[in-house]
């Protein structure tokens, strides 16, 4: 058999392998999940770690306080704020005396805001069995936010990662790029968890629930004290198992998170996130670059196809294919002419790729339609109360 036939066949095999691996990893976003019939209400402590967020903190506290859940509390950790955050906390404590408690973390000598200490302080101050981390720039989409987390807890999960719907005010180019970056990595984490109940590859610093006893027995974030932020990624990937972690994507479990209004702040946040990614295990890094490896596989299949077409059009000087096939009569009966084999392989390659691309874009639009729902909280409220926007 001629060499170019083998190479063209290899390109189609690589393309088929790429499509099989891609759709095997794909998990569609579900509109709703079945609710558990168990009516237990585990105690939940919502920990809000804030730093210079006096303009949006009150709105976040109000949204959490209005949750339709019987057994929860709010713990606010003031992480060395220099604005009027302390006054906002005092007013909120008078407004919700039985619901809200607060603690304060002074700034250290180096001026570094370590989220490790702030999170540990908030977890120690919590009085409930379960911890839910929430940032001041995140607000629940629905009044059943805590109920959806409790439903997952009743199903036997020890770690719950909720979806964050990131949005912007000005909708500039860098803001659209940032929201797409956050969404892609959350979808990757969702599919990694739900594909055969694998371990997560990250956990957002907001809308992340775990058991207080597990956090204390595991030493919290103690092994990552050299990192200033985003220890949730490492905690989830280290202590989660194949069966005790889930990611909640339904509307009731989502929170709306506003991006930093300044591009430099988002770039700093992105750099800190990637710095935390470097500490992930090798297996987790491989799961994170799963789709990148698939893209390389597709490019390799395309290059092999081009190589096969080139060999079909311009065969090598030394070709033993004639001795294997025989005379001209056998050549014509065994294989079609060379100019037909190469275009046929290219047409099949492009047709299969086009069908795959159409199906992938359709599924992507369907997932985005379920995730990027209209905002529940009015952004103009934040714009009126924040002078930085």
Tens-place pLDDT, residues 63-94: 999 999 999 999 999 888 888 888 899 999 99
Give phi and psi for 77, each to the nearest 5.
Answer: -105, 115
Question: What pLDDT digit, counting tens, does each position of 102-142 carry?
Answer: 888 877 655 455 778 889 899 999 999 999 999 998 999 98
pLDDT of residue 338: 55
| DSSP helix/strand/coil, 345 | helix
Instruction: Using DSSP bridges, classify how beta strands 138-140 and 100-105 pair: parallel, antiparallel or unpaired.
Output: unpaired
What is the pLDDT confidence band of residue 324, given thresholds at 50, 70 and 90?
A: very low
Cα 367 to Cα 30: distance, rounded to the nearest angstrom: 8
Q: Which of 35-44, 131-140, 370-379 has the highest mean pLDDT?
A: 131-140
User: Out of 34-48, 113-127, 163-177, 181-195, which region has the weakest mean confidence (pLDDT)?
Assistant: 34-48
The three-point CA angle 53-58-62 to 5° equals 140
The answer to whether 227 touches 115, Cβ cutoff 8 Å, is: no
What is the pLDDT confidence band of residue 387, given thresholds at 50, 70 and 90?
A: very low
Whether the pLDDT of residue 236 is over 90: the answer is yes
The answer to whether 128 touches 43, Cβ cutoff 8 Å, is: yes
| CA proximity to 6, closest of 294, 293, 316 | 316
In DSSP terms, 140 is beta-bridged to 255
Q: What is the dihedral of CA 145, 149, 152, 154, to 10 degrees?
A: -110
Give phi and psi for 258, each to the nearest 5.
Answer: -90, 140
In sequence order, what are the residues at sequence separation of 6 or more whose Cβ sits closer than 8 angstroms to the Cβ of residue 283?
A: none
pLDDT of residue 194: 87
Question: What pLDDT digit, counting tens, does each position of 200-233 carry?
Answer: 999 988 999 999 999 999 998 888 888 878 889 9
Report the predicted TM-score, pTM, of the whole model to 2 decimal places.
0.84
Cα 360 to Cα 294: distance, rounded to the nearest angstrom: 14
Cα 145 to Cα 162: distance, rounded to the nearest angstrom: 10
Whether the pLDDT of residue 178 is over 50: the answer is yes
Which run of H or E residues covers position 102? strand 100-105
């Amino acid at each position: 058999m001629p060499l170019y036939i083998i190479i063209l066949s290899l390109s189609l095999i690589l393309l088929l392998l790429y499509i099989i691996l891609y759709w095997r990893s794909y998990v569609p976003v579900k509109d709703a999940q079945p609710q558990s019939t168990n009516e237990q209400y585990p105690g939940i402590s919502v920990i809000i770690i804030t730093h210079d967020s006096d303009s949006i903190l009150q709105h976040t506290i109000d949204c959490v306080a209005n949750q339709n859940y019987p057994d929860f509390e709010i713990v606010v950790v003031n992480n060395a704020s220099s604005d009027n955050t302390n006054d906002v906390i005092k007013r909120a404590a008078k407004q919700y005396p039985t619901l809200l408690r607060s603690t304060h973390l002074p700034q250290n000598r180096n001026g570094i805001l370590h989220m490790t200490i702030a999170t540990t302080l908030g977890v120690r101050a919590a009085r409930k069995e379960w911890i839910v981390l929430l940032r001041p720039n995140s607000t629940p989409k629905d009044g059943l936010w805590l109920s959806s987390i409790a439903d997952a807890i009743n199903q036997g999960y020890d770690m719950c990662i909720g979806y964050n719907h990131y949005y912007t005010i000005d909708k500039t180019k860098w803001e659209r790029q940032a929201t797409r970056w956050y969404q892609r990595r959350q979808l990757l984490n969702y599919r990694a968890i739900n594909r055969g109940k694998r371990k997560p590859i990250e956990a957002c610093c907001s809308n992340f629930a775990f058991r207080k006893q597990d956090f204390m027995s595991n030493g919290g974030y103690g092994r990552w004290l050299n990192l200033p932020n985003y220890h949730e990624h490492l905690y989830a990937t280290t202590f989660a198992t194949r069966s005790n972690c889930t990611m909640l994507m339904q509307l009731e479990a989502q929170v709306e998170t506003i991006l930093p209004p300044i591009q430099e702040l988002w770039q700093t946040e992105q750099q800190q996130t990637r710095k935390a990614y470097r500490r992930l295990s090798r297996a987790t890094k491989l799961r994170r670059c799963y789709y990148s490896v698939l893209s390389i596989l597709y490019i390799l299949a395309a290059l092999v196809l081009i190589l096969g077409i080139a060999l079909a059009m311009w065969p090598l000087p030394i070709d033993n294919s004639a001795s294997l096939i025989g005379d001209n009569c056998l050549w014509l009966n065994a294989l079609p002419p060379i100019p037909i084999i190469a275009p046929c392989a290219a047409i099949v390659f492009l047709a299969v790729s086009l069908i795959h691309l159409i199906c992938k874009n359709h599924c992507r639009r369907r997932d985005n339609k379920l995730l990027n729902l209209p905002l529940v909280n009015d952004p103009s409220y934040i714009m009126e109360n924040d002078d930085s926007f």
